[in-house]
Chain A
Amino acid sequence: MRDTKAIKNSDGSAGVDTVYQTIPAFKLLNQDSVYITNEHFKNKIYIADFFFTSCNTICPIMHRNLKKIYGKFADNPDVMFLSHTIDFKYDTPSRLKTYARKLGVDGPKWQFVYGPKDTVYGLATKSYLVSVEADSTDKQGYVHQGYLVLIDKDRRIRGAYDGTNPEQVAQLEKDIPVLLAEDKK
Chain B
Amino acid sequence: MRKLLIFSTVLLTLISMLYSCQTAEKVEQDAYYVNGRDIYIAQCQNCHGEKGEGLAELSPPITDTVWMKKNRSLLACIIKHGYATPVTIHGKVYEGKMPDFNMADIDLTQIIVYVTNTFGHKQGKYTTEQVAKDLQNCK
Total CB contacts across the A-B interface at under 8 A:
28
Smallest Cβ distance from B56 to chain A, in angstroms? 4
Bound CA–CA A67/B99 (angstroms): 23
B65 lies within 8 A of chain A by Cβ: no
**A88-100 toward B: CB 8 Å interface, digit per residue (1/0)?**
0000000000010
Q: Which residue of A is nearest B56, CB measured?
A: A104
Are B55 and A64 in contact (CB-based, < 8 A)? yes
Are A102 and B46 in contact (CB-based, < 8 A)? no
Bound CA–CA A63/B96 (angstroms): 16
Bound CA–CA A60/B46 (angstroms): 6
Cβ-defined partner of A101 (8 Å) among B46, B55, B57, B97: B57
Smallest Cβ distance from A143 to chain B, in angstroms? 16
Q: B96 contacts which chain A residues (CB < 8 A)? A: 102
B35 lies within 8 A of chain A by Cβ: no
A58 lies within 8 A of chain B by Cβ: yes
Chain A: interface size category: 10 to 19
Are B57 and A60 in contact (CB-based, < 8 A)? no
Q: Which residue of B is nearest A58, CB measured?
A: B46
Q: Which residue of B is nearest A102, CB measured?
A: B57
Bound CA–CA A101/B47 (angstroms): 16
Are A67 and B56 in contact (CB-based, < 8 A)? yes
Cβ-defined partner of B56 (8 Å) among A58, A61, A102: A102
Cβ-defined partner of A103 (8 Å) among B46, B47, B57: B57
Q: A63 contacts which chain B residues (CB < 8 A)? A: 55
B11 lies within 8 A of chain A by Cβ: no
B31 lies within 8 A of chain A by Cβ: no
Smallest Cβ distance from B51 to chain A, in angstroms? 12
Cβ-defined partner of A104 (8 Å) among B46, B47, B57: B57
Interface contacts beyond A60-B59, A64-B55, A103-B58: sample of 20 additional A-B pairs, CB < 8 Å, sorted by A: A54-B97, A56-B46, A56-B47, A56-B99, A58-B46, A60-B47, A60-B55, A60-B58, A61-B46, A63-B55, A64-B49, A99-B58, A101-B57, A102-B57, A102-B96, A103-B55, A103-B56, A103-B57, A104-B56, A104-B57
CB-defined A-B contacts under 8 Å, sample of 18: A54-B97, A56-B46, A56-B47, A56-B99, A57-B46, A58-B46, A60-B47, A60-B55, A60-B58, A63-B55, A64-B49, A64-B55, A99-B58, A102-B57, A102-B58, A103-B56, A103-B58, A104-B56
4 closest pairs, A vs B, by CB?
A: A102-B57, A104-B56, A60-B46, A60-B47
